[in-house]
Every structure is written in structure tokens, then in C-alpha cells.
């Protein structure tokens, strides 16, 4: 329904994330359509998610990243003029002059032109092969250049947030990567020395070579005229085929300068608390706006500005912008990083509490006022648990707890209580969504994660807040007396644990039996593989026999991991990392004969990549003939048992770690479970096998073995807990038997031991009571279940090769069994990889 007055004309200059957020906010608030909206964007593409830009290299498309709905693009509510710029504003007459000569009249204009990458004026910076990292066009150009024949290495100039994102992108393109940073460590402004140096450990462990505390002198051209090397100020020369500049950004305020609008001494359009410029009816938001002397380089402040301007334009009283908190959490090269408040404060005015764990690469620093003890800020690397509550404390939104020092500990020691977060705490920094907004949405009827995302936009950008969002949802529903459903999916009213008990009690062996007696419909991508895993855990039969074949995902279906180009990997088991020279030679010959890429993994296995489906049986026959078997890299089961060389070779070793690792791996090989399982055995407390970051870790002592459980060195690192010490060989194996089967019985679908343990009622004491004191009276059952697995284990590939009917499954084209696709390959570092 119209307000009765003619609509006014709003011009938005810039169609980035912030400009589009303004459009979305205004469309949602302007129910009477008092405004007509025109958007002028320099890129030919509609706005897309720059925060998730690097995911384009992982397969996400422009459409996946797009932020403009089809309704707006195809409708008449907003007019988009993409591929154009506004050259000048006639602020006296309210006219915008476009690059194509068009003139657009406006009643209000909002400049949201963002920023542009800063390219340091290093000699040679314009050579072919040098790029910036800002737009999808940039990424396409980088990818095309990197994939040309013979290009193997890249350099990123700048070790900040975007620089590390760019480094990750180059890694994904198969390049060797160097990062050059002027500061002594990456992200110095955000993390300070301790956090920056810990982040450097993570970055280097992922294969990136960091060169910190050094400046760049000159880029050197090769014989072809393209960039070929970077000469550093310390005299070193880094060879390269590609350079990406990520040395900061500068506000794109050229329009303001051309239009006589005030800009700051170092750039940025000057705005007041209403985000207005001194010129009438002209506002600026996002990275181009200079508010109270500060330009914000993050998307969340831009979103807050967009919301404030939309409120002002629609007549709301809540239109003032007071500035933004720069606290942020993100994931760099898979590493969790966060900072809040005065994260980098130092000197006599502050105290600090620091948790520094170089083994698991965790750094947590809390900065306190030296006089009052008040929390001022902090930096978190490797474990960012409690970030939301700690940030709320620094902003005065939550009361500082008396046991604040305990909050410096990681989640593995002291899990935070997400339910205790105050309403004002910001849960989703990308979209500036508070805990109160989420609680209100739950109160209005949102009862699933998907409904919360749709209602609040929380968790829809980088995704880093999704775990906290899920936890808060469960807490709030439970507090409201609403039963939190544990149903596996719409086809089963039971949880994974309940289904496991039902299948075990009734001794079901088929999907049809389970579905007929306890489910409905035809199943889905959640319940079918879950039931398949349960059946495999309990019966240990061939997973592709009978109706179980219909339950498997792509990897289990072909007993191999599918790779990005549609080929498969072959991963033989190498128990304890021990392999004979003849077996090494056999694997090398197989790789040569089938043109496979070979890699030694972090779990002490040899992976062979690039096998075609039809070649898998032949390859595995040769592997088995060499005395090896399936490593089950494709299944949710035991992956590896890593070991050091132990007392056999090492002068520090006190036990035979290799022998124990082989015993453990051969005992639990093929054990299907809710998620993958990794183990390690170290021959002394020097811990060369990194056992304390594994689901099951064993460390030798002079008197026996220490058993650690529920560690995780993956996406959410967790230090394992000591379950028992100085165990004999027999005691150790019995304890692992009981622990593993208890986990398999009670864990949720796709739940690692680390997260399972954190939700286990009674924690470590209860787990010890179950495993050693048999407090539940199920110890004998757990041992019997494990013995049944051991007695019935069979290498799935050997079972396949021994049965012609099973072999028929490994044909690429059913109607042309002798035909096979030919994947496209390029040579990188002496091996063939997907083009």
C-alpha cells in the first residue's frame, strides 16, 4: 500500500557486499515503496560474497556466491546498471554522470564503492604474471595463469588476512607457495607477536614458506618477459611463476574527489554519525567511508552502516552509527583465528594471561587492565572457544566471571557455555547478528538450524558461527521446555545410538529389515549411510552385498576415494608405517605402469592418485600380491596407526612403538564407526608420533603404556585426555577394545571422538568408570563385539577380487564395459596431476 506521495529516487553507487546489503535492508523496511532504487556497479556481475571468495577454487560457482536474489534481478523494484561507473556527482542539482554519458537524477545517493588493492611500487610490479586478489575476475586470471604448462610456484606479497587466503588458493592450484611479509610474523596488527608466531607455525605446517621481517627489492623478468623471481632486501632471490599482491587496500574515493566531496588526508569519504557527507543528500558506507577518523576494512561494520542508512531513509529513529567493534573470528588455511577488543595491547598498563601449546599449535591470550583486572581484549589461534562470551565481556555486554583465568584454557579443558551468552553478544560477526536476535527468532518459532539461518542470516556467510548457533538453538529449546528432537531424519524417529541398539538387539542384517520395522519411506542421504555403517559395525560383512550396496556413498561404493577429476585413489594399509623395500618397489612400479600420482601422507601411508574405476581391480590385485591390503581410506573406520621408530632404533625409546602400532592397527583394521578413527604410538615422551592429537594415542613409559583418548588434530584441534597410565600390553588392548566399542555404540552420526567426549555426561571420570570399572556392566559385551569384528575381518578388496560377480561392479560404463574415460593431466613437480 503506497503512502500517497510520489516515490523518491535512491542511487546506490557500488554493488559489492555492503551496497547490496543496503538494498536488501531498504527493500525489507520500505513496505510502502517510498523509494525507487537504482544500483550502478562497476563489475558486470551482480554482488557476490567476497568473504567466501576463496571457495571459488573449491568448486563454488558465481551463482553459489551471488548475494542478489532472482526476485530483485528480474523484478522492477530495483534497477541494476552493471558494468558501469559513476564518474561525477552534480551535488547541487542531484545528477549522477555515468561513464557512458548517461545522467541519472537522484534524491539521495549512497556511495559504497569499497576499496581497491594496494600494489606496492616495487620495481617490476607490473610484469606479466603479477595479480591482485580482489574479484572473481582476478581469481579467474590467477587460475588461468597458474594452470599453464610448466608453472609450479607462486609468491604472495603480504601476510595479512587476504594474503593468507591467497596463499591457500595457490596451494589449491597445486603451486609451491612463498609468502613475503614485512612484519616479523603474519597478522601483526590483529594477533600480536604470540598469536602471529603461532599462526606462522600453522601456515608453515601446511606447506607454505613464510619469509617475515623482510622487504621486497625488485621483481625480475625471465627470458619470456614474465615475472620469474623476487629479489629480497636481504639478498635472497625467490623464483616464481606467479605473484599475488595482498599488501592492504585503499578506499576507492575517486568519485568523491571528482565531485568535490571531502575526503580524509589518507583517503576515505568523510561522514558523520548519520553517515552523511557535508554535501546534501550524499552518504557513504563500507570501506570507502571515513567515520570518526577511521576506515573499516571488514564487512561487518559495512553491514552495520547499511542498516543505519536504511533506517534513516525509512524514517526510523535508530539511524545513528556510533562505530563498530573490530572483533572478528575467521578461518585461515583451515586454522581458526580470532581477536577481540584490545587484542594487541602491551606495555605497563596491561597484564596478560597466556596459554601456549606448541604441540597442538594453540595460543590463547587474554589482555587485562593492570589496575582493575578487567578484560580488555585477546587473541586466539588454533582454538577460538569462548570467543563470543569473551567479546561480550570486553564490550560490557556480559559480567566478567570470577574465574576468568580459566577461560584462557582451550575447549578440550574448559568448554564454554554458549547458553550463558548475553542478548547483546554478537554471535555472527559477518552479518552482525546478536544472541538476542537469535533467541527472539527461536521464540517466534524457529526450531531448526535452517529456519534460524533463513530468519536471521546468521551462519550464512563464512559459517564459522554455525557450531555456536547450533548449541544455542539446542540450549534455548531445552530451556523453553521444548523437546529437542534426536531423530536421525524424517524417515526414522530414533537417534543413531538408538538405531544401533535396535539393530544389535534384533540382529538385523539388511536395510530392508531396519526400514520395515523402525522407519518409513525410502530413506535419504542421512539415514541410509548411517544404517549402512551400523550394519557394517555389527556384522562386518561385505558392504556391497545384498541391499547394503544401496546404502553406500560414492567412496564406499567403489572401495576408493573419488578425487576432483572423477578418478580414484588407491591407499594400501601400511601398519605402523612399516613397509618392506619390495613393497615400496611394487607400489612404485604400479604407479609408473598406471601413471598415478604418489604421495606419502601425514599418517605414514603411501597414496596413489588418479586411478580409473576400471583399473582398480587390476591395481589392487598387484597390491595384494605384494603382501598388502586395503587401508580403508574410503570408509568411516580406522585410518592409520602412526608410530615413531621406538626402542628398536631410537636411543631415547623405552618401548617397541612400531610393534605395538602394528598390533593395534591389525587388530582394529576395517572397524566401521560413526566417523574416521586415527591412532598413534610413541616410543617415549618425546612424542614423535603426535599421539596426543589422536582419537587413540599410546605413549611408552619405562613401566608400560600411557593411554590417551579423544584427541583431534583436524578442523577443531583437541588435546587428548589421559585415560590411564603405565598399562601392560594386555591392559592396554583391553582398554582400547572397550573404549572403541563404547564410542561406536553411543556416538552420533559423523561425530568424532573429540566432540563425542565433550558431550559425554560425566566426562573423563565416567569414561574411566565404564572402561576400567565396568560401571555399566557391559564390559564383556564390548569385548565380545570387538572380538567378533576381529574374527570376521576380511580385506574388502581381496573379497572383491575373489568373486567375479563382485568384480562386475567396477565398470565405468555398464553398456560398454571395455570403454574408459581419459582424464586430462598436466605435469607438476615431475608428476601428473588433474588439469
Residue-wise pLDDT tens digits, 807-828: 877 776 545 556 566 676 777 7
Domain range summary for the chain, segments of one domain joined by +: 8-116+251-313, 130-247, 325-415, 417-484, 496-552, 558-630+795-810, 635-794
Return the C-alpha cell found at 259: 565531485
Q: Which CATH number describes the domain made up of 325-415?
A: 3.30.390.30
Q: Please determine, for residue 309, whether its predicted confidence score (pLDDT) is greater than 90.
A: yes
| 332: enclosing H helix or E strand | strand 328-332
Taking 80 as the threshold, does the pLDDT of residue 332 lie above it?
no
Is 524 annotated as a binding-site member? no
**Structure confidence at residue 804 (pLDDT):** 84
**Number of C-alpha atoms within 13 angstroms, CB side, residue 691?**
29
Higher pLDDT pick, 143 / 493: 143
> Is residue 183 scored above 70 in pLDDT?
yes
Mean pLDDT calculated for residue range 307-335: 81
Cell of 243: 605473484
- % the chain with pLDDT above 90: 45
Ranking 357-371, 563-577, 731-745 by mean pLDDT, the lowest is 563-577
Q: Tell me: is residue 465 an annotated ligand-binding position.
A: no
Predicted local distance difference test score (pLDDT) of residue 805? 82
The pLDDT of residue 187: 87
CATH number of 130-247: 3.50.50.60
Which residues, including other chains, have CB under 8 Å from residue 759's CB and lie 6 or more apart?
none
Once rounded to an integer, what is the mean pLDDT over residues 790-807?
Answer: 88
CA 442 to chain centre: 26
Residues 6 or more apart whose Cβ sits within 8 Å of residue 174? 146, 828, 833
Which residues on neighbouring strands pair with residue 180, listed in sequence order?
A: 157, 211
Cell, residue 506: 534384533
pLDDT for residue 319: 66
Per-residue pLDDT of 401-453, as tens digits, reads 888 888 898 876 654 454 467 777 777 777 778 888 888 888 888 877 667 88
pTM of the model: 0.59
Closest to 381 in 3D by CA, of 449, 418, 316, 335: 335
Distance of alpha carbon 653 from alpha carbon 724, whole angstroms: 20
Is pLDDT above 90 for 124?
yes
pLDDT tens-digit readout, 677-706: 999 999 998 889 999 999 999 999 989 999
Q: What is the mean pLDDT of the chain?
A: 87
Distances (CA, A) of 248 to 118, 181, 187, 244, 328: 5, 11, 11, 12, 17
Q: Is the pLDDT of residue 718 over 80?
A: yes
Q: Characterise 188 by phi-psi region: left (phi > 0), alpha (psi -120 to 50), beta (else).
A: alpha
| Helix, strand, coil percent content, the chain, rounded in steps of 5 | 35, 25, 40
Q: Quick one: 79 exposed, middle or buried, by C-beta within 10 A (0-12, 13-18, 19+)? A: middle
Please give the pLDDT value at position 484: 67
Beta bridge mates, 638: 677
pLDDT computed for residue 416 by the predictor: 47
pLDDT value at 92 more than 50: yes
Q: From 1.10.287.3510, 3.40.50.2000, 1.10.10.1100, 3.40.50.300, which CATH number describes the 417-484 domain? A: 1.10.10.1100
The maximal CA–CA distance of the chain, rounded, in angstroms, is 89
Q: What is the pLDDT of residues 36-56, one digit of tens each?
A: 999 999 999 999 998 888 878
What pLDDT, on the 0 to 100 scale, is given for residue 105? Answer: 96
Task: Kindly tell me if the per-residue pLDDT of 253 is higher than 60.
Answer: yes
Helix H, strand E, coil C: the string for 660-704 is HHHHHHHHHCCCECCCCEEEEEECCCCCCCCHHHCCEEEEEECCE
582-621 burial by CB neighbour count: b if 16+ within 10 A, else e? ebeebbeebbeebebbbeeeebbbbbbbbbbbbbbbebbe
* Bridge pairing between strands 108-111 and 8-13: parallel
Q: What is the DSSP letter of 773?
A: S
CA 65 and chain centroid, separation: 16
State yes or no: 684 annotated in a binding site. yes
| DSSP character string of 87-133 | EEEETTTTEEEETTS-EEE-SEEEE---EEE-----TTTTSTTEEE-
The CATH H-level (homologous superfamily) assignment of domain 558-630+795-810 is Sulfite Reductase Hemoprotein;Domain 2 (3.90.480.10)
Length in residues, the chain: 835
Q: 3-class SS at 620?
A: helix
Q: What percent of the chain has pLDDT over 70?
A: 94
Give the model's pLDDT for residue 1. Answer: 41
Q: Are 156 and 120 in contact (CB under 8 A)?
A: no
Whole-angstrom Cα distance, residue 258 to residue 264? 14
User: Which has the minimum average pLDDT: 321-325, 662-666, 741-745?
Assistant: 321-325
Give the pLDDT confidence of 497-535 residue by residue, as tens digits.
Answer: 888 888 888 888 888 899 889 988 877 767 888 888 888
Cell of 431: 552479518
679 pairs with which residues across the strands? 641, 696
Residue 254 sits at φ, ψ, to 5 deg, of -60, -35
pLDDT the model gives residue 533: 84
CB atoms within 10 A of CB 561: 18
Instruction: Kindly tell me if the per-residue pLDDT of 834 is higher than 80.
Output: no
User: Treating both helix axes as pointing N-terminal to C-terminal, what angle do 466-479 and 435-443 enclose, rounded to 10 degrees?
Assistant: 50
d(CA 513, CA 515): 6
Phi, psi of 669 (to 5 degrees): -60, 140
Pick the CATH number of 8-116+251-313 from 3.50.50.60, 3.40.50.360, 3.40.50.1980, 2.30.30.90: 3.50.50.60
State the DSSP H helix or E strand holding residue 419, giving kind and residue range, or none if neither. none
Using the Cα atoms of residue 623, residue 626, residue 630 and residue 634 in order, give the sign of their dihedral.
negative
* Per-residue pLDDT band at 549 (split at 50, 70, 90): confident
In angstroms, the CA 239 to CA 219 distance is: 10
Say whether 130-247 and 8-116+251-313 share the same fold. Answer: yes
**Which of 88-97, 548-557, 742-751 has the weakest average pLDDT?**
548-557
- Average pLDDT for 134-153: 91
Residue 796 or residue 288, greater confidence: 288
**Band (322; pLDDT cuts 50, 70, 90):** confident
pLDDT of residue 821: 63
Closest CA to 632 of 671, 663, 587: 671
Mean pLDDT of 92-96: 95
Instruction: Give Cα separations from 821 to 406, 556, 610 (angstroms).
Output: 58, 21, 12
Which residues lie closer than 8 Å to 726 by C-beta, 6 or more apart?
701, 703, 704, 705, 706
Task: Return the minimum-mean-pLDDT range out of 177-186, 356-365, 481-490.
Answer: 481-490
Q: Is the pLDDT of residue 359 over 90?
A: no
Question: Is 650 labelled as part of a ligand binding site?
Answer: yes
Q: How confident is the model at residue 333 (pLDDT cuts 50, 70, 90)?
A: confident
CATH number of the 635-794 domain: 3.30.413.10
Amino acid at each position: 500500500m503506497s503512502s500517497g506521495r510520489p516515490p523518491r529516487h535512491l542511487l546506490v553507487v557500488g554493488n559489492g557486499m555492503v551496497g547490496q546489503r543496503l538494498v536488501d535492508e531498504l527493500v525489507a523496511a520500505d513496505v510502502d515503496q517510498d523509494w525507487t532504487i537504482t544500483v550502478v556497479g562497476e563489475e558486470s556481475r551482480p554482488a557476490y560474497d567476497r568473504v567466501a571468495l576463496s571457495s571459488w577454487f573449491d568448486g563454488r560457482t558465481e551463482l553459489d556466491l551471488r548475494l542478489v536474489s532472482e526476485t530483485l534481478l528480474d523484478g522492477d523494484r530495483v534497477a541494476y546498471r552493471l558494468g558501469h561507473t559513476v564518474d561525477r556527482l552534480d551535488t547541487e542539482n542531484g545528477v549522477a554522470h555515468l561513464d557512458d554519458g548517461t545522467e541519472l537524477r537522484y534524491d539521495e545517493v549512497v556511495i559504497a564503492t569499497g576499496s581497491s588493492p594496494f600494489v606496492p611500487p616495487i620495481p617490476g610490479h607490473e610484469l606479466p604474471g603479477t595479480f591482485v586478489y580482489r574479484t572473481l575476475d582476478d581469481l579467474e586470471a590467477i587460475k588461468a595463469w597458474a594452470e599453464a604448462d610448466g608453472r609450479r610456484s607462486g609468491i604472495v606479497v603480504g601476510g595479512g588476512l587476504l594474503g593468507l587466503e591467497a596463499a591457500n588458493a595457490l596451494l589449491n592450484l597445486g603451486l609451491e607457495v612463498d609468502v613475503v611479509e614485512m612484519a616479523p610474523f603474519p597478522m601483526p596488527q590483529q594477533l600480536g607477536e604470540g598469536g602471529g608466531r603461532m599462526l606462522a607455525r600453522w601456515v608453515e605446517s601446511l606447506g607454505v614458506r613464510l619469509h617475515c621481517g623482510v622487504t621486497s627489492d625488485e621483481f625480475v623478468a625471465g627470458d619470456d618477459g614474465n615475472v620469474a623471481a623476487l629479489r629480497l632486501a636481504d639478498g635472497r632471490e625467490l623464483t616464481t611463476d606467479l605473484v599475488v599482491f595482498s599488501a592492504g587496500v585503499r578506499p576507492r574515493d575517486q568519485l568523491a574527489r571528482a565531485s568535490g566531496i571531502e575526503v580524509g588526508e589518507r583517503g576515505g569519504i568523510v561522514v558523520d554519525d548519520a553517515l552523511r557527507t557535508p554535501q546534501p543528500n550524499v552518504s557513504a558506507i563500507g570501506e570507502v567511508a571515513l567515520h570518526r577518523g577511521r576506515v573499516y576494512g571488514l564487512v561487518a561494520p559495512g553491514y552495520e552502516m547499511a542498516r543505519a542508512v536504511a533506517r534513516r531513509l525509512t524514517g526510523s529513529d535508530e539511524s545513528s552509527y556510533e562505530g563498530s567493534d573490530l572483533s572478528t573470528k575467521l578461518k585461515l588455511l583451515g586454522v581458526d583465528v580470532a581477536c577481540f577488543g584490545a587484542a594487541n595491547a602491551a606495555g605497563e598498563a596491561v597484564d596478560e594471561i597466556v596459554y601456549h601449546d606448541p604441540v597442538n599449535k594453540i595460543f590463547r591470550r587474554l589482555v587485562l587492565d593492570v589496575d582493575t583486572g578487567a578484560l580488555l581484549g585477546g587473541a586466539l589461534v588454533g582454538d577460538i572457544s569462548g570467543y563470543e562470551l569473551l567479546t561480550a565481556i570486553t564490550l560490557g555486554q556480559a559480567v566478567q566471571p570470577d574465574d576468568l583465568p580459566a577461560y584462557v584454557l582451550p575447549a578440550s579443558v574448559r568448554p564454554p557455555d554458549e547458553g550463558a551468552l548475553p542478548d547483546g553478544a554478537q554471535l555472527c560477526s559477518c552479518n552482525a547478528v546478536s544472541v538476542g536476535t537469535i533467541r527472539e527468532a527461536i521464540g517466534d518459532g524457529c526450531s531448526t538450524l535452517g529456519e534460524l539461518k533463513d530468519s536471521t542470516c546468521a551462519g550464512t556467510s563464512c559459517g564459522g558461527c554455525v557450531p555456536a548457533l547450533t548449541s544455542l538453538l539446542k540450549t534455548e529449546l531445552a530451556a523453553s521446555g521444548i523437546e529437542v528432537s534426536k531423530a536421525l531424519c524424517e524417515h526414522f524417529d530414533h537417534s543413531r545410538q538408538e538405531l544401533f541398539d535396535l539393530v544389535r538387539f534384533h540382529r538385523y542384517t539388511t536395510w530392508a529389515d531396519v526400514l520395515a520395522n523402525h522407519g518409513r519411506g525410502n530413506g535419504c542421504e542421512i539415514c541410509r549411510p548411517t544404517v549402512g555403517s551400523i550394519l557394517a559395525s555389527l556384522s562386518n560383512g561385505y558392504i556391497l552385498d545384498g541391499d547394503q550396496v544401496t546404502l553406500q556413498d560414492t567412496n564406499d561404493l567403489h572401495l576408493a576415494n573419488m578425487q576432483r577429476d572423477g578418478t580414484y585413489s588407491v591407499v594400501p594399509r601400511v601398519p605402523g608405517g612399516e613397509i618392506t623395500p619390495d613393497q615400496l618397489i611394487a607400489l612404485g612400479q604400479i604407479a609408473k605402469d598406471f601413471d598415478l600420482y604418489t604421495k606419502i601422507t601425514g599418517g605414514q601411508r603411501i597414496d596413489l592418485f588418479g586411478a580409473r574405476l576400471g583399473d582398480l581391480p587390476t591395481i589392487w590385485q598387484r597390491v595384494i600380491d605384494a603382501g598388502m591390503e586395503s587401508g580403508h581410506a574410503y570408509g568411516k573406520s580406522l585410518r592409520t596407526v602412526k608410530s615413531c621408530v621406538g626402542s628398536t632404533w631410537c636411543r631415547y625409546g623405552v618401548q617397541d612403538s612400531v610393534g605395538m602400532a602394528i598390533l593395534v592397527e591389525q587388530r582394529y583394521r576395517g572397524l566401521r564407526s560413526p566417523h574416521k578413527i586415527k591412532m598413534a604410538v610413541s616410543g617415549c615422551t618425546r612424542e614423535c608420533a603426535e599421539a596426543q592429537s589422536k582419537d587413540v594415542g599410546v605413549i611408552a613409559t619405562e613401566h608400560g603404556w600411557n593411554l590417551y583418548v579423544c584427541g583431534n588434530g583436524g578442523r577443531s584441534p583437541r588435546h587428548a585426555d589421559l585415560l590411564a597410565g603405565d598399562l601392560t600390553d594386555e591392559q592396554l588392548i583391553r582398554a582400547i577394545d572397550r573404549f572403541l566399542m563404547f564410542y561406536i555404540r553411543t556416538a552420533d552420526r559423523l561425530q568424532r571422538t573429540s566432540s563425542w567426549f565433550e558431550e559425554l555426561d560425566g566426562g573423563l571420570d565416567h569414561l574411566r568408570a565404564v572402561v576400567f570399572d565396568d560401571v555399566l556392566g557391559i564390559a564383556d559385551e564390548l569385548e565380545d563385539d570387538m572380538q567378533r569384528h576381529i574374527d570376521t575381518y576380511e580385506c574388502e578388496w581381496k573379497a572383491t577380487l575373489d568373486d567375479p560377480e563382485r568384480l562386475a561392479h567396477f565398470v565405468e560404463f555398464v553398456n560398454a564395459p571395455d570403454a574408459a574415460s581419459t582424464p586430462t593431466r598436466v605435469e607438476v613437480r615431475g608428476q601428473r596431476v588433474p588439469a
